[in-house]
């Protein structure tokens, strides 16, 4: 099904995933594990031996399916319009749904045998499966009667369809116009990352044209995005209510093992950053007025990279990553070296490629933890690289721990609730490294401080605006309220004022209206996981850790956290770091840190 290709220096090498076997042979093995489940579904509880064989088959199935999923999905993300990989994904989907139908009663079988399973779990051999089955048994009130469950598996076959539509439209089908620089020279745009790169240009004409082209390209599809999003939330809410949840949001809270008070507490604490956000925007504007010699600062001026060194090579970025992460131990740095030496990373942007960045999930059975990004030779690109490496190294350590103890395989995973902590911790260590490196260079130092503060507010204030918007819209649709482009924009403006005190849409010129498209192109909104507020958790916790990472006690706690996988609940996992998300002090400390950096910017 797949052809091997010569691996170039900055491409990832996906072939080791298959371990010298063909993709078709992996698919055949996968089918065998599924057939075994179908055959043994009514007898695996008959004896401890059968129970152990059942668990081993599940483990093997997960390993094989992860190999297949990562190999195919990563190839597909290289070019979302590639018919070969689209076709393979569709065939895998058909296979998956076929067996989901046959195994629709599995949860019922688990629940019917709860007593005997719990008895088996008292055996030391199976003790590490207690959490796995506890999570299954807590679903009891949300499991449908058998015939309805079978119908459910058929009706939810297209549950991810809206996300696929969004990705195809935003990453592949949208074309970007040619833009001009101040000399009238035309520049061809291949991907959105080209435009982002040009918004950093010292050429004001070019960065304005790039800014306008970027936002307008998405703005012209706002109706399509909004209708896709409406139907996505409508479906998510209906699916959730069918399972006895009040809403899609309620279901996500249940899955994350938290209640909404955690979210509301986070909203309130981040709202308290409003005063320093307003102060920072004022200071940043003054700095750019002075450096650019422009009185009327526009949005496209605030993205300017005014440093003399405008471009950073990939090799330079690698070196910086190593040096920035030296506060972590040698074992951590050795994993980074593996990532570079073994081609874990797809660096370069190209037409049709997934437009964001990610480190793979579903890692059980893999020994390489791949990263896709779109490196554009900027300082921000180094941030992205070190961020995604944080995810991949996290995957490495919990995979290593779970594989050392073979029967911990169900926890070879990371819950999205805390997944951003290791990645943002890396970004913060990069900032501390750069701050020391350029302490005697006031121009570079100010730029780095502004970049760090921008990233801080992007992860906290900006993501909480997005999260609060998603929460309200999803709940409104659940309560059968109207959702349109106009209502979505009105809510967006209201939340900007609430958290940022900034009316970014005060101007009436048409080009400023293009910014409205931002709220409709947040990819996580289409994935139904209430994700974006978790960036704020990651930022606050990561800053707390990074400031203490040279302390041996914190370093030990951090590596215990990295190795824990999903063996504990999300809140218990974060507690390994000695942190409580409801403790106001961690937010107060973060606010003071940023406030002190703002004062540093005000120095001459």
- As a three-state string, the secondary structure of 575-596 is HCCCCCCCCHHHHHHHHHHHHH
The model's confidence at residue 444, banded by pLDDT at 50, 70 and 90, is confident
- Can you read off the two tokens belonging to residue 330? 């040698």
| Sequence-distant contacts of 311-318: CB under 8 A, at least 24 apart | 311/377, 311/378, 312/377, 312/378, 312/379, 312/381, 312/382, 313/377, 314/10, 314/347, 314/375, 317/375, 317/381, 317/382, 317/385
Whether 47 is in a domain gets the answer no
Catalytic residue among 388, 420, 427, 470: 388
User: What is the mean pLDDT of the segment spanning 43-55?
Assistant: 96
What is the percent of the chain where pLDDT is above 90?
Answer: 72
- The predicted model scores a pTM of 0.87
Q: Is residue 568 part of a domain?
A: yes
| Backbone φ and ψ of 450, nearest 5° | -65, -40
Asked if the structure places residue 367 within a domain, the reply is no
The answer to the question of residue 24 being in a domain is no
Asked if pLDDT for residue 454 goes beyond 80, the answer is: yes
Q: Is residue 186 part of a domain?
A: no
* Residue 216 tokens, joined: 């307008």
Answer yes or no: is pLDDT of 308 > 80: no
List, for residues 555-603, the tens digit of each pLDDT value.
999 999 999 999 999 999 999 999 999 999 999 999 999 999 999 999 8
Domain hosting residue 479, numbered range:
241-309+405-604
Instruction: Write out pLDDT tens, residues 2-41.
Output: 444 455 889 999 999 999 999 999 999 999 999 999 999 9
Query: Element (H or E) spanning 511, and its range?
Result: helix 510-513
Q: Which residues, at least 6 apart from 461, have a Cβ–Cβ distance to it below 8 Å?
A: 270, 273, 274, 277, 499, 500
Q: Is residue 79 domain-resident?
A: no
- Average pLDDT rounded to a whole number, residues 405-430: 89
257 φψ region: left (φ > 0), alpha (ψ -120 to 50), beta (else): left
* pLDDT of 512: 84
The whole-number average pLDDT for the span 222-249 is 93
Give the CATH number for residue 484. 1.10.1370.20
Q: Is residue 533 part of a domain?
A: yes
499 has a pLDDT exceeding 50: yes
Three-state SS string over 253-276 comes to HHHHCCCHHHHHHHHHHHHCCHHH
Spacing of C-alpha 445 from chain mean position: 29
> What pLDDT score was predicted for residue 2?
42
Comparing 63-67, 144-148, 235-239, 474-478, the range with the smallest average pLDDT is 144-148
- pLDDT the model gives residue 507: 58
Torsion of CA 574, 579, 580, 584, to 10 degrees: -140
SS (H, E, C) 211-251: HHHHHHHHHCCHHHHHHHHHHHHHHHHHHHHHCCCCCHHHH
92 versus 304: which is more confidently predicted?
92
Read off the pLDDT band of 194 (50, 70, 90).
confident
pLDDT score for 81: 85
Strand partners, 346: 372
**C-alpha angle with apex 578: 574 to 579, nearest 5 degrees?**
60
Q: Could you give the number of structural domains in the chain?
A: 1
Provide the token pair at 179.
């833009």
In a domain, 16, yes or no: no
Radius of gyration of the chain (CA): 25
Q: Is 310 a catalytic residue?
A: no
When pLDDT is cut at 50, 70 and 90, the band that residue 1 belongs to is very low
């Amino acid at each position: 099904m797949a052809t091997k290709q010569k691996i170039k220096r900055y491409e990832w090498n996906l072939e080791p995933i298959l371990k010298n076997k063909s993709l078709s042979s992996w698919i055949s093995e996968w089918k065998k594990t599924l057939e075994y489940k179908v055959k043994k579904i009514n007898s695996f509880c008959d004896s401890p031996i059968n129970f152990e064989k059942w668990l081993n088959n599940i483990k093997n199935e997960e390993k094989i399916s992860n190999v297949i999923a990562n190999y195919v999905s990563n190839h597909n993300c290289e070019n979302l319009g590639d018919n070969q990989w689209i076709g393979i994904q569709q065939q895998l989907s058909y296979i998956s749904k076929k067996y989901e139908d046959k195994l629709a009663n599995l949860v019922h079988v688990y629940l019917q045998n709860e007593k005997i399973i719990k008895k088996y779990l008292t055996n030391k051999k199976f003790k590490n499966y207690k959490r796995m089955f506890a999570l299954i048994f807590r679903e009891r009130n949300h499991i449908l009667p058998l015939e309805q469950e079978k119908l459910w598996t058929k009706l939810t076959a297209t549950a991810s369809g809206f996300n696929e539509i969004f990705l195809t439209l935003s990453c592949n089908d949208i074309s970007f116009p040619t833009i001009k620089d101040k000399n009238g020279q035309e520049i061809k745009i291949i991907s959105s990352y080209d435009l982002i790169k040009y918004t950093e240009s010292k050429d004001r004409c070019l960065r304005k044209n790039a800014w306008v082209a970027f936002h307008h390209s998405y703005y012209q599809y706002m109706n399509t995005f909004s209708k896709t999003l409406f139907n996505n939330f409508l479906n998510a809410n209906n699916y959730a209510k069918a399972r006895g949840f009040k809403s899609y949001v309620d279901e996500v809270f249940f899955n994350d093992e938290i209640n909404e008070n955690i979210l509301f507490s986070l909203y309130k604490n981040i709202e308290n950053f409003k005063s320093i956000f307003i102060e920072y925007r004022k200071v940043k504007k003054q700095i750019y007025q002075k450096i650019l010699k422009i009185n009327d600062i526009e949005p496209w001026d605030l993205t300017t990279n005014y440093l003399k060194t405008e471009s950073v090579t990939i090799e330079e970025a690698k070196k910086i990553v190593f040096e920035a992460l030296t506060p972590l131990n040698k074992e951590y740095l050795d994993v980074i070296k593996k990532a570079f030496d073994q081609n874990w990373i797809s660096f370069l942007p190209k037409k049709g490629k997934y437009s964001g960045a990610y480190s793979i999930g579903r890692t059980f059975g893999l020994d390489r933890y791949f990263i896709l990004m779109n490196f554009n030779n900027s300082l921000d690109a180094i941030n992205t690289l070190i961020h995604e490496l944080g995810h991949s190294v996290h995957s490495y350590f919990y995979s290593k721990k779970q594989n050392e103890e073979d029967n911990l395989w169900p926890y070879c995973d990371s819950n999205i609730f805390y997944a951003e902590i290791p990645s943002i911790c890396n970004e913060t260590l990069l900032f501390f490294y750069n701050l020391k490196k350029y302490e005697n260079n006031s121009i570079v130092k100010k730029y780095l401080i502004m970049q760090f503060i921008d990233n801080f507010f992007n992860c906290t204030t900006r993501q909480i605006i997005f999260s609060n918007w998603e929460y309200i819209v999803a709940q409104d649709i659940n309560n059968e309220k109207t959702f349109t482009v106009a209502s979505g924009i009105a809510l967006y403006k209201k939340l900007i004022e609430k958290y940022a005190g900034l009316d970014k849409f005060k101007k009436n010129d048409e080009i400023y209206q293009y910014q409205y498209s931002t709220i409709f192109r947040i990819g996580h909104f289409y994935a139904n996981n209430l994700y974006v507020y978790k960036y704020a958790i990651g930022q606050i916790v990561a800053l707390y850790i990074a400031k203490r990472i040279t302390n041996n006690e914190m370093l030990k706690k951090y590596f215990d956290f990295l190795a824990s996988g999903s063996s504990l609940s999300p809140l218990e996992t974060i507690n390994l770091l000695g942190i409580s998300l409801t403790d106001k002090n961690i937010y107060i400390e973060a606010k003071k840190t940023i406030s002190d950096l703002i004062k540093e910017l005000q120095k001459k």
